Structure 1
Amino acid sequence: MLAPIVLFVYNRPWHAKQTLEALSKNILADKSILYIYADGPKVNPSIEDLEKIKETRQTIREKQWCKEVHIIESDTNKGLADSIVNGVTNIVNRYEKIIVLEDDIVTSKGFLKYMNDALKLYVDEEKVMQISGFIYPIKTKGLPETFFYNVNSCWGWATWQRAWKYYNGNTRELLNNLSKQADFNTLDFNGGQGNAFYQQLVDNLEGKLYTWAIKWHTSMYLKKGYCLHPRYSLVRNIGHDNTGENCDVNERLTYQLLAAQIQVRKIPIVKLDLIIQRMKEYYESGSKEFHNSLANGKNINMLKKIKRKLQQIKTLLNVYF
C-alpha cells in the first residue's frame, strides 16, 4: 500500500494551487490518497484574510488531485505547528507511514515514487527516522544518489509511526534531556552555527516562538536518528516571498533546480564526512555573499534581505553530528 499524503493549507491560494498541480503530475499520484488539512481564520480576521481562506478552500476543490482526496476544514485557527503535529499524528497512526507537504512545496514528478520506495526499503531500520525530499543546493560532485546524515528537513518529508512516536512537543523536557547529555554543541552543528537550534528551543519555552520542526529535530537527535536525503532535491519551496509563516526571501532556494527522479537503493546507515563538508561550504558561501555586499556598499534593503537569508540558513540548516 502506498503512503498517504498529507497537505496543510491556510490562506495562500496561489501557492496551494502550484503545490497541488505539481503533486497531481507525480508518478503514483493517480494511485495515492491525499488528505488536505485547511486551517481556519484567526480571532478577529480581516476581510482580506477571510477572502484568502475562502479562495484557498475553493482552490483545493478544483480538481481530483489524487486517486482519493479528503478535505478536513477547521472552523478556527489551530496555527501551523498544531495543525501539522495533530494531522501527522492522526494519519500516521492510522496508516503507519506518511508523506507530508505544506502549501508552498512544489514537487518534481518523481517525488512520490522516491518517498514510497524509501519508506518501503527502510521500514524496519529503527535508526532511519525520516525521508527528506529536500537538500540544499550544495556541490554534488562525489556524492552518492542518496545518503544519510542527521537532518530533519521539513520541506517535503516522510516518516513512519515507529519513528514519529518519539516526537516530543514538550520543550522543557527536550531541554532537560539535552542538559543530561551536556551536548548542545553537536545539536548546533558542533558550534558552527552558534546556538541557533538550542536558542530556538529556549525561544519556544519562553513563548517567543511556537514551532514544531525544532522539536522533531531534537527528538530525532536524542534518539540518534538518521534521515535519508537525495543528492538533488525533488522539492522546491516557493514560499520565500515573505508570504510564509517562517520563511523570508531566499533566492538561492527559490530557483533551485530539481531532480526528475531519484533511484533508491539500500545503503549503509552512516553519515558522510563529505556531506558535512559540503554543507559547511554552502553556509560559508552565504557568509561571503553578505560580506561582499558590505564591501560593495549595496543599499540597506539588499543588506536586510541578505541578513534574513543568512539567518534562515543558520536556523533552518538542521545539521548536527
Structure 2
Amino acid sequence: MTKCEYRDSLIMDPAPIALFCFNRPAHLRRVLEALRANALASASTLYVFCDGPRRAEDEALVSEVRQVAHAAAGFARVEVRCSAVNLGLAGSIISGVTEVVARHGRIIVLEDDLVTSPFFLTYMNEALREYEPVDAVASIHGYLYPISRPLPETFFLRGADCWGWATWARAWSQFEADGSKLLRRLDESGEGKAFDYGGTYPYRRMLEDQIAGRNDSWAIRWHASVFLNHGLTLYPGRSLVLNIGNDATGTHSRRTRSFDGGLSSSPIRVEPVPVTACLEAEQAFSDFFRGQRGGLLKRLARHVLGRWGS
C-alpha cells in the first residue's frame, strides 16, 4: 500500500469516537469544538454517552449537556446515548466502550474535559492501524505529562492510561472489572514496585481504594489489567490532549495547572518503533511523579484515575 492509499484508507474508515459526559456543558462545547477541528472528524462516527443525574440539583446541567450533545455537528454521524440513571464514570465508560468495540472492533475514547490537538485523530487512527496486528500493544494514548526532557516521537510503556486513548476489541477483552482479582495477581507477580513506577506513584493504593469502595475508578482496573498481561501503550512524545477539567468543576477535582503541558503544534509521526517499554520514558515519568509533593501527588492520582464518577 502506498502512502497515499494508506491515508485514503484512514479517511474512508476512521475509528469511531466515544465521548463521555455528565454535567459540564461549557466543557463539552470546547471539547467538541476542538475535536471538529481535526482533519478526520468529518469522516468519523461520534458516540456521545450522557450520564444521568445523581440528584435533583444536577438535572438542569445534565439537560443542557444533552442539548449540546444532540446539536453536535461536523462528524459523519452522531449517536447520543442518554442514561436515565446515574451510572458514574466507571459504569458509563465500561458499558460504553464495551458496546462500541463490540460493534466496530476499535474505539477512540474521550471525556468531557479533554481538549484535543488538530492532529489527535490522525495520530490515533494511524497508530490503531499500525499496531492492530501486534498483540503486545493494548492501547494508544494521546496525553503526555509536562515532562521537562525531550522524549522519542512515540514510545511504549507497560500498562494503560486514560486521558484520550484508543484500543481494540482484542485488548479490551482483557479488562478485568474485579479489583480483588487484579490485586491478588499483582501480589503473586511480585511486580508491585514496577506497577508503582519504582514507588513514585500510588497505583497499588488506588487499586486497594477501588476494592474498598473509596473510589470507583475504571482506569486503575484498565491499567492493572493491561500491566498484568504485559501489554503496552503507545505514547506521543508531545501531548495531543489538554485536560481542562482541573478547574474544580469535577466531583473530585481541585484547581491545578500542574498537568498542563499545552498541545503539540505539529503532527506526531507514527513510524514503527521497538515494541518494548522505553526505559528513558519510564525514568522521565518516575522523575515527574517524584517531583509532585504531598497533596499534589494525591490530586494527580485523583485526576488521572477519574473525576466525576470516582
Question: How many Å apart are 1:113 and its aligned residue?
Answer: 0.5
Whether contact under 8 Å (2:72, 2:78) holds in the other structure is no
Instruction: Give me the TM-score of the superposition, normalised by structure 1.
Output: 0.86
Other structure's SS at 1:129 match: strand
CA distance in 1, matches of 2:275, 2:252: 31
Question: How many Å apart are 1:286 and its aligned residue?
Answer: 3.0
Give the aligned partner of residue 25 of structure 2: 13
Cα distance per residue 1:44-68 (max 9 Å; x no partner): 422xx21111111111223413111
Give the aligned partner of residue 199 of structure 1: 205
CA distance in 2, matches of 1:218, 1:271: 16
Structure 2 residue 145 is matched with structure 1 residue 118: no
Cα distance per residue 1:53-95 (max 9 Å; x no partner): 1111111223413111000111111111000000001101111
**Which among 192, 198, 202 is matched to residue 184 of structure 1?**
192
Whether contact under 8 Å (2:176, 2:221) holds in the other structure is yes
Other structure's SS at 1:154 match: coil
Whether contact under 8 Å (1:19, 1:106) holds in the other structure is yes
Task: Name stretches of at least 5 consecutive residues in structure 1 with no aligned partner.
Answer: 288-306
**Which among 73, 84, 87 is matched to residue 78 of structure 1?**
87
Cα distance per residue 1:71-129 (max 9 Å; x no partner): 01111111110000000011011111000000000001010000000000000111100
Cα distance per residue 1:278-297 (max 9 Å; x no partner): 2233234333xxxxxxxxxx
Question: How many Å apart are 1:192 and its aligned residue?
Answer: 2.8
Cα gap change, 1:314 to 1:85, in 2 (>3 Å): closer
CA distance in 2, matches of 1:10, 1:218: 26
Give the aligned partner of residue 47 of structure 2: 35
Aligned letter for 2:221? K
The 5 Å alignment of 1:199-278 reads 199-254=205-260, 256-278=262-284
Cα gap change, 1:88 to 1:191, in 2 (>3 Å): same
CA distance in 2, matches of 1:2, 1:25: 15
Percent identity, please.
38
**Which among 139, 156, 160 is matched to residue 164 of structure 2?**
156
Cα distance per residue 1:5-45 (max 9 Å; x no partner): 00001100000000000001111000000000111112x42
Other structure's SS at 1:158 match: strand
The 5 Å alignment of 1:7-156 reads 7-42=19-54, 44-46=55-57, 49-141=58-150, 143-156=151-164
Other structure's SS at 1:190 match: coil
Aligned letter for 2:132? V
CA distance in 2, matches of 1:185, 1:316: 21
CA distance in 2, matches of 1:175, 1:151: 15
Other structure's SS at 1:19 match: helix
CA distance in 2, matches of 1:27, 1:165: 30
Question: How many Å apart are 1:316 and its aligned residue?
Answer: 6.2
Other structure's SS at 1:186 match: helix
Cα distance per residue 1:204-245 (max 9 Å; x no partner): 111111110000010011100110000000010000011124
Deviates more, 1:75-84 or 1:182-191: 182-191
Question: How many Å apart are 1:314 and its aligned residue?
Answer: 5.1
Aligned letter for 2:76? K
CA distance in 2, matches of 1:257, 1:93: 31
